[in-house]
Structure 1
């Protein structure tokens, strides 16, 4: 019988995990498919601004409050010459873009992207090419972006109309360099050496930057986690973060197993964390390497369609996953996993932001809309600022094809002392039943229930389209708070955001 399942939780303001680095709500724009051309940039569009950027997309990105955006790749960066994308547009070359086998027009490059990032109130996480290039191109690029004036590259930037330096502070040393698909693929030793020397040169130009070294492309790589260990063993003192990438899919149409895949992400984070700490101990270092989960999402819907795309076209519709409701649930659980590891996961990038495996979709010369995954991402970004708390949760569990003892309830909580607010994020993975969660919140004396936001749909395969938002949040809940006890009914397969605020 429904509604009889129960979970219990204790939430105490003293059970702190860590202050949340807001950059865990970052995203990613690669020169891939329609992410740039037809996504953020479409000069002929009715909503285009004076630079050709779509204002409707800008407004949707601003709704998400994205703090940092990784650019320009991705696989694309490993054969990219950054100089192609600066200076007068009429002088920029068209190139064969080898990663995705398209024509890159270079209409948008470093300066334009920095301008766009400012329009959406975001910082830039810039990647350098360590596939076909290396130390020289990287040191020139950071001189171009970050040095004030008086040198060749900084004065070239000024001649391009950018008097002040961009001051980009977060840099990725290449992308997925362990992957055989990568142009300029490298062994761990080869990559460790180029990362070490490139990082050294870049920090000589600007000692205030932070550097992200490549880890394994995913947990299925045969060299995982040895690639991380070797890379860090060589480049430990030059780098500040190690990157993690992971995508999930539901190709076998097994919802119970699919919704448990954030447990794999949890294991991935713990393994990389342990690897970092082993190298820290080996080096007798006082420095801690933190984690940058700078590619993560659901990705599988578009795989078959992508095989049919003609090569060497401009901005074809690549990787255009149309997300359903169960995808939004898993995205919610993945965000919860980041919050549970806020002490070490300091950056994360939902890959990507517009059209390409993205929360935002557009029509060329037409409208834009929110995919199902837009909502948990937005809720976490807006309400997930503050200190991550450790909920003590007792939840019923289930077993699936690949996982055992899967909690039906995923939970994370964020305490914003400045605003006197507490937000609890919860996912109910039960395919048939609602679950009532009873939470002891007595340490938050004087707090009252502000709202309980719910994302639910009876159809796990429901999708949003430009004409119809089948999956959208509502606040019609049966939650109540009294005498320090919060009682919340979580509908079957639902994403939930419960907000408490101190009463005046």
Structure 2
């Protein structure tokens, strides 16, 4: 049997869990918005046309921030189209996803939806086919107090108070050939700096995200980050990182070990940031926003130009997920938590129907996928401290990554409530004995272990036919020591209640 252990001490912390680490991402793609968030004809729709059952699931998921409207969609986006009276809004072709965009859900609706869902809005600007002036117009519409053209337009549209959007993305994936306005790093770095500098003339306290590489497989990865940051470093707060994984060529072991690659990716982006900071002799700290991450079976994505009329939304990118996918998802969450000193924002891609933890039936039910549960359990640690951890584990072999630890884990602690959470994955096909030394935490009151595992880790289900609920059982630490058996290919959350200080 495999063995693993974790050493944790309440005195040694990596940093607070940032609220924005548990963000989500929504764009007008497939049924993400139409028949996802927004379905006025649905029996559970509210007066705005928002599905109340979806909002309830998003609250249960624990999403805190939502990035909108893209994504690829944003590079052809005209933000004004989604404001004002709906019957006066134009329909347009969406070249990113080969769909018709009716603009019945736009900026105004997203801000209203964000308020109802209890999430912070995070807006992306179109720097693909538009520029500085359009960005400033959108900023004025959202955050202007009044007495100027765009701010008064917002007020006339029924929003007296400014939206006060704090976090803004300066475009999306401009290094990608699939992107409208695809360009090189030098040109993008210039427009990003100009836009950021102008926005700070409006409000110097805004938090701005410059676009990093679309992924590690891009030919310009690394050099792109360096060039863009050299141009924009003094005007931005974050650089974005995007990364997706999926099982390739039937190699499940390498897929389950994907988070080791994710960890290396984050480390390299941080190293590039700090290199540029050193060269510039700057005291400014730029952090990382992993504002697209998740599991996406991209080889299954075929994007063809439709014949005849282009559909509104339609079924696309609707991946169904297995227990193995949930374990990878959980592994990526563990990696994000380990880097909270520099990863201060992250967004799962996406929230509903499109490569998502929540799925809906048109006119019918909404249901959870397996990947829902690791995120929901980890989001419960918001406000806690991430503890420095030493994890030792029997290794396993993955063809793409060599020898990797079979078990990985991270711990968070709420000092006031006296609650310790250990999130742990077993990547192997064998059970593992897992031990934790909890002697530094004090008297144990109670504990429980929630396990997501399956005898068929690759099996996927649609319409809720695969029951993904974790199994919960009590934990009984003895003399400050905890020992449990981890199921093969599993995600587990160990929660222990100690005496509050």
Structure 2 CA distance, aligned partners of 1:19 and 1:132?
Answer: 38
Per mean C-alpha deviation after superposition, the further-off stretch among 482-491 and 212-221 is 482-491
* 2:431 is the counterpart of 1:434: yes
Which residue is 1:295 aligned to? 292
Which residue is 1:313 aligned to? 311
In structure 2, do the counterparts of structure 1 residues 302 and 31 end up closer, same or farther at CA, with 3 Å as the change threshold? farther
Aligned counterpart in structure 2 of residue 389 of structure 1, from 387, 391, 395: 387
Per mean C-alpha deviation after superposition, the further-off stretch among 390-399 and 259-268 is 390-399
> Alpha-carbon deviations, 1:276-314, whole Å to 9, x = none?
000000110001110000000110177256559667211
Which residue is 2:198 aligned to? 201
Contact 1:33 1:318 in 2 (8 A): yes
Aligned length: 499
The residue matched to 1:399 in structure 2 has which SS? Answer: strand
Per-residue deviation at 1:394?
A: 1.2
Structure 1 CA distance, aligned partners of 2:88 and 2:35?
Answer: 22
Which residue is 1:214 aligned to? 211
Per-residue deviation at 1:424?
A: 0.3
Aligned counterpart in structure 1 of residue 469 of structure 2, from 466, 472, 493: 472
1:14-53 correspondence runs (5 A): 14-53=11-50
Give the gaps of 5 or more residues in structure 1.
Answer: none
Aligned counterpart in structure 1 of residue 237 of structure 2, from 240, 258, 269: 240
Per mean C-alpha deviation after superposition, the further-off stretch among 124-133 and 488-497 is 488-497
> Alpha-carbon deviations, 1:239-273, whole Å to 9, x = none?
00000001111131211110001111101001000
Per mean C-alpha deviation after superposition, the further-off stretch among 452-461 and 161-170 is 452-461
> Alpha-carbon deviations, 1:315-369, whole Å to 9, x = none?
1111110111110000000000001111011111000000000000001111110
Structure 1 CA distance, aligned partners of 2:180 and 2:25?
Answer: 20
The residue matched to 2:234 in structure 1 has which SS? Answer: coil
Structure 1 CA distance, aligned partners of 2:334 and 2:272?
Answer: 22
In structure 2, do the counterparts of structure 1 residues 417 and 309 end up closer, same or farther at CA, with 3 Å as the change threshold? farther
Contact 2:32 2:354 in 1 (8 A): yes
In structure 2, do the counterparts of structure 1 residues 448 and 254 end up closer, same or farther at CA, with 3 Å as the change threshold? farther
Q: Runs (4+) of structure 1 moved beyond 3 Å?
A: 304-311
Structure 2 CA distance, aligned partners of 1:439 and 1:308?
Answer: 54
* 2:120 is the counterpart of 1:118: no
Per mean C-alpha deviation after superposition, the further-off stretch among 350-359 and 392-401 is 392-401
Contact 1:306 1:318 in 2 (8 A): no
- TM-score, normalised by the number of residues in structure 2: 0.97
Which residue is 2:333 aligned to? 335
Which residue is 1:413 aligned to? 411
Per-residue deviation at 1:54?
A: 0.3
Which residue is 1:401 aligned to? 399
Which residue is 1:423 aligned to? 421
* 2:495 is the counterpart of 1:499: yes
Contact 2:4 2:433 in 1 (8 A): yes
In structure 2, do the counterparts of structure 1 residues 259 and 385 end up closer, same or farther at CA, with 3 Å as the change threshold? farther
Per mean C-alpha deviation after superposition, the further-off stretch among 465-474 and 481-490 is 465-474
Which residue is 2:366 aligned to? 368
Structure 1 CA distance, aligned partners of 2:378 and 2:50?
Answer: 26
Contact 1:65 1:381 in 2 (8 A): yes
Per-residue deviation at 1:105?
A: 0.5
Contact 2:97 2:303 in 1 (8 A): no
Which residue is 2:87 aligned to? 90
* 2:480 is the counterpart of 1:487: no
1:17-166 correspondence runs (5 A): 17-166=14-163
Per-residue deviation at 1:101?
A: 1.1
Contact 2:212 2:239 in 1 (8 A): yes
> Alpha-carbon deviations, 1:107-159, whole Å to 9, x = none?
01111101111111100110000000010000010000001111111001000
Structure 2 CA distance, aligned partners of 1:429 and 1:354?
Answer: 27
Which residue is 1:186 aligned to? 183
Contact 2:100 2:312 in 1 (8 A): yes
* 2:243 is the counterpart of 1:226: no
Structure 2 CA distance, aligned partners of 1:308 and 1:461?
Answer: 32
Structure 2 CA distance, aligned partners of 1:457 and 1:343?
Answer: 34
Which residue is 1:349 aligned to? 347
> Alpha-carbon deviations, 1:54-91, whole Å to 9, x = none?
00101000101211000000011001110111010000
Per-residue deviation at 1:438?
A: 1.1
Structure 2 CA distance, aligned partners of 1:5 and 1:308?
Answer: 50
Contact 1:302 1:319 in 2 (8 A): no
In structure 2, do the counterparts of structure 1 residues 184 and 376 end up closer, same or farther at CA, with 3 Å as the change threshold? same
Aligned counterpart in structure 1 of residue 173 of structure 2, from 164, 176, 179: 176
Per mean C-alpha deviation after superposition, the further-off stretch among 303-312 and 392-401 is 303-312
Per-residue deviation at 1:404?
A: 1.9
Per-residue deviation at 1:469?
A: 4.0
Give the gaps of 5 or more residues in structure 2.
Answer: none
* 2:452 is the counterpart of 1:463: no
Contact 1:437 1:490 in 2 (8 A): yes
Contact 1:29 1:352 in 2 (8 A): yes
Per-residue deviation at 1:470?
A: 2.4
Per-residue deviation at 1:436?
A: 1.2
Contact 2:259 2:332 in 1 (8 A): yes
